[in-house]
Amino acid sequence: MKTLFFLFVAVLSLFVCVSNLSAEGVNDAGEKLSEGDYDAAIALYSDEITATPQDGRLHVFLGEAYIAKARSFAAGGDETGGDGAYDLAVTSLTSAIGLSANPSTAYKGRGVAKQEKGDHEGAVADLTLALGQSNKYADAYYHRSISYKALGQDDLAQADYNTLRDISARRAAQLAQLLGL
């Protein structure tokens, strides 16, 4: 009985160590991302995914890092590099959807990646799925309204804006300024 107890404590200690290492790796990746070192963040998130591939959150984090990298390419005028990074974001976020109990963040991220690449129909579909998981998701309404407007569906863009006003006045004001609503 004593041996079983010590074995349990040893396994639990190992689990705690691995969890702490994982948290440290995720924190390091987040720092790199906030510093604009997208490649380092992507490498760190990828390492974490290798260690725990079933953690949907890590796939979301990786997808968000690819979106940030794509935006930096686009800001520098490199649309081709941006498209490739958006494609990698979509791949990572698609993985996250299957691994998450509540995939709303993954659907939202994938919708944003599609939107920024110019696939507004795909963006609307994913953002609608995100809202099906969480109907108070301000960012999903914000981005879906942008895609509706790009598709010429002004009434639907306005409806999302109206809903967004009730959820987040700040995000609604940003959207109104962007779309002229």
The domain spanning residue 125 has which CATH number? 1.25.40.10
pLDDT digits (tens, 9 = 90+) for 107-163: 999 999 999 999 999 999 999 999 998 878 899 999 999 999 999 999 999 999 999
- Identify whether 30 is part of a domain: no
For residues 48-68, give the mean pLDDT. 89
- CA dihedral over 57, 59, 61, 67, signed as positive or negative: negative
Alpha-carbon distance 41 to 54, whole Å? Answer: 19
Tokens 């790199």: give the residue: 32
Contact at 8 Å (CB) between 102 and 140?
Answer: no
Q: How many domains in the chain?
A: 1
pTM as predicted: 0.81
Q: Which domain, by its residues, includes 153? A: 53-179
- Identify whether 42 is part of a domain: no
SS3 content of the chain, % helix, strand, coil (to 5): 85, 0, 15
- Identify whether 105 is part of a domain: yes
- Identify whether 162 is part of a domain: yes
pLDDT of residue 134: 82
* CA angle centred on 150, ends 144 and 152, rounded to 5°: 105
Which is more confidently placed, 28 or 68?
Answer: 68
- Identify whether 87 is part of a domain: yes
What is the chain's mean pLDDT, rounded?
A: 82
How confident is residue 25, by pLDDT bands cut at 50, 70 and 90?
low
